Amino acid sequence: MPTVDASPGKFTFDLDTTALLVIDMQRDFLLPGGFGESLGNDVSQLRRTIEPLAALLTTWRAAGLPVIHTREGHKPDLSDCPPAKLTRAPKIGQPGPFGRILVQGEYGHDIIDELQPVGDEVVIDKPGKGAFYATDLSEILEKMGAKRLIVTGVTTEVCVHTTVREANDRGYECLVLSDCVGSYFPEFQRVGLQMIAAQGGIFGWVTESPALLKEIAR
């Protein structure tokens, strides 16, 4: 089976039971002038993931392997938005440069042009930070026969971390690609990745995408 050099050790996987998860690469978070930047964040810290992630998707798709995209957002009436979340993020649902912020169907809620889903790739709309909460991701992965997840997307310390922790509790082995995940805060990026691989891989493995691309190309 393919084996990738990673931290804390080698990550071995079977292509037939591995899925690529692309978390929340949405316009509201990544586009200059969008919701993320309106909060004072440096979107360039997230946008550096676009090129390596696009390259990964090209190779992954060429190999005929499954891709799952997620989008964080809510129904237009915000009925699926946890009250505590709305209290701490009152801009959700309000008008923004790209439509109502984090509302399904709005331009800003959708995935950036460079990474748009193709064909029958699964797109999961999630109301929380983790991709398993209030979604059918578990059922989709079970139907695929997936045992391992290649995790990419934003942000490292929030939606990526929450999803990896959820996946870990459900028995999935996760490989997080450090150049394909991003945080607005460099320190959070560094520490978030260290936390995943700490103590012998308490939540999973971490490596850069070229190591994985090399194995897929074989």
Greater confidence (141 vs 1) lies with: 141
* CB 60 within 8 Å of CB 189: no
| pLDDT of 166 higher than 90 | yes
Block residue for tokens 């292509």: 15
Task: Please indicate whether residue 129 is annotated as part of the active site.
Answer: no
Query: What letters, b where the CB count within 10 A reaches 16 and e where it falls short, cover 118-145?
Result: eeeebebbbbbbbbbeebebeeebeeee
Predicted confidence band at 217 (pLDDT cuts at 50, 70, 90)? confident
**46-67 pLDDT per residue, tens:** 999 999 999 999 999 999 999 9
Predicted confidence band at 218 (pLDDT cuts at 50, 70, 90)? confident
Task: Please indicate whether residue 159 is annotated as part of the active site.
Answer: yes
Query: Could you say which of 28, 81, 110, 126 is catalytic?
Result: 126
pTM: 0.98
- What is the sign, positive or negative, of the torsion defined by CA atoms of 118, 122, 125, 130? negative
Fold of 3-217: Rossmann fold (3.40.50)
Query: Could you say which of 24, 28, 81, 110 is catalytic?
Result: 24
Q: Which amino acid is at 30?
A: L
Query: Could you say which of 81, 110, 159, 180 is catalytic?
Result: 159
Predicted confidence band at 104 (pLDDT cuts at 50, 70, 90)? very high
